[in-house]
Chains A and B, each alone.
Chain A
Amino acid sequence: MTSVAFLDLSLPSLGARVSRARLQRMFSAHYTLVWRVVRRLGVPEDAADDAAQQVFLVATERLADIQEGSERAFLYGTALRVARSVRRNVNREPAVDTADLLACSAPFPDELADSGRARKMLDQVLDLLPEEQRTILVLHEFEALTMREISEVLEIPTGTVASRLRRARETFRSRVQALLDPRGAS
């Protein structure tokens, strides 16, 4: 019994090593992308690490179900679900109102040279988008996924992706205008 236990621990099975190596490849290639996606989908900075790790924990559990070549689509799809869950949790906490955040920090154009400040405003604008529009905007405009890739991640037809993207762009630009010039532009 002792020798069996020793063998199990000291010599991981070939399957386990292959799985671990595959997970390592996924982590090395996609962790930053996953982290960035959950951030753009509304996960606060202080929860982004946990959310991204959660995505990879799901991947670990489902590794055998993920087809070779579909790793990125799987990770993105899982990231969307995890981000949605975190946002719900955050939204239940009334401490911070999006509007208050905007009122405190919406910058004027000449202040946007600071990318950190611009990013903060970007996230605030994204917070004001309907979720389905935000998701498609993030995947296409920031992660450069193709219509087909988004279609696979969201499991919707490419035509629907295209029409949602058109609306998302309109809404995004309209809301940027609205926030910069709430009394005049819109």
Chain B
Amino acid sequence: MIIKSYKTIKSTSLVAKKLVKKGTKPWTIVLAKEQTSGYGRKKTFWFSPKGGLYFSIILPKSNIEDLQTLTILAAFSIGKIIKESFSLEPFIKLPNDLYINQKKFCGILTENVILGKEVKSSVMGIGLNTNIEKFPDELKEKVTSLKIELGRKVDNEKVLKQILKGVKEQLKIISQ
């Protein structure tokens, strides 16, 4: 697994999709400290200031049904990690959003390129509000961060490694 780290980029998924076109290997991770145009489904803006954890995984070629399952299982993995590591009670809004106290703190977006019936490439983008101290007024009633909920900083690197391990294990299980 190779992690390509960036300071500030538009979006980790955009960079990952460009890398795929250049032939970058699966399980390459694009990680950014800050995204200027982070996005979710239907290109909705994902607030991504410094402090949060933003990364995209170039997934190995899988069939489309497995990718659907993987997106759901990634959400479960993240929920489990957050619950076990920080004793928080995350709620998974299936298939791909996670909430704490009715406020969103994590989103997952899997993007595939399909030719005929074949999945040519897949990128799973994950935005996790870890150490964000405050949100703009228009968001603060709807979103939260682990730091706000816990009152302390979390180790982004450690959380990242746990999530990557979880996603990899899940994919291994479902593609067996």
Same complex origin of A and B: no
